[in-house]
Amino acid sequence: MTVEIEGVTLHLAHPDELPARWVGQEEPLRQLLAAWLVIDPRDVPMNPRLVGKPGVGKTTLAYAAAKRLKREVYIMQATVDTRPEDLLVTPVIEGAGKLRYVASPLVTAMIRGGVVILDEGNRMSEKSWASLAPLLDSRRYVESIVAGIKIKAHPDFRFVATLNDDASTFDLPEYIHSRLQPQILIDFPERDEEYLILRENLPFGEERILQYVTEFLQQAHAADERYTVRDGINIGRFAMKLLRELSYIDESRALEAAVLETLGEEALRYVPRVRS
């Protein structure tokens, strides 16, 4: 799929399709949808940031909101190595010295009126963020120095960044921070919500295993541990695989081994309380 802008042919990315459904907190989902609303011809959509610990479902929430709007979704993973051209347009040599210009998922979403999720945005350097500054205010465009073109966002284009609340990230520069508004906090789910998330992701799971993992996570949350439902899904999945593969192991031992191998010895302090 290609499009021509200012005489330059861009090869577009394909949208992402995930087997994901948002289960749980409805309030942050509605806040995100509200931020994307345009309520007047002079209005523009906001560029919210979803903030929370790794594994609480920020990307799933953003994807579910985009799908509720029936938009194409493009996920772009940010890293410390992400360069401005990675975010915009990348030149690729295509035989006999000919250049092919490949649009990033972000630029593809801009052109097609889709939703881009910039995942783990605070792992990205200021130089890369600077290339997005005009996109994140009322101008709503980017300039590709590599391709020598200015790309304007489709009116239906929507942007959201997910930011991890941990120590392995950069602080956002102030001029970007003020453009990524509002901040929507995603916290650990309540017990019933956490159980439903586990059930959604492990529909083949035994009820006792799902209840065990739910109790384990809730006790960890109460102790302010950073274990998330993603960890719980991995514990439950691994425990079930151990039970299938090792005929001599019982359910309790399989779960304890799954906790140990997934999260380490420190996590075992919560296991006796779950089993008592």
Please give the structure tokens belonging to residue 28: 């942050």
- Confidence at residue 274, expressed as pLDDT on a 0 to 100 scale: 45
- Confidence at residue 199, expressed as pLDDT on a 0 to 100 scale: 94
Average pLDDT over every residue of 63-90 = 95
Please give the structure tokens belonging to residue 69: 């709007």
Is the pLDDT at 275 greater than 50? The verdict is: no
Length of the chain counted residue by residue: 276
CB 200 within 8 A of CB 21: yes
pLDDT tens-digit map of 114-137: 999 999 999 999 999 999 999 999
Is the pLDDT at 272 greater than 70? The verdict is: no
How many angstroms separate the CA atoms of 192 and 223, rounded?
Answer: 18
pLDDT tens-digit map of 176-208: 999 999 999 998 888 999 999 999 999 999 999
Which of 21-30, 78-87, 238-247 comes out lowest in average pLDDT? 21-30
Residue 10: CA count within 13 A, CB half-sphere: 27
DSSP β-bridge partners for residue 50? 162, 184
DSSP state of 148: T
User: What b/e readout covers 173-207, taking b as 16+ CB neighbours within 10 angstroms?
Assistant: eeebeebbeeebebebbeeebbbbbbebbbeebee
CB 150 within 8 A of CB 107: no
No. of helices (H) and no. of strands (E), the chain:
11, 11
DSSP state of 152: E
Q: Which residue did the predictor score with more confidence, 17 or 275?
A: 17
- Confidence at residue 99, expressed as pLDDT on a 0 to 100 scale: 87
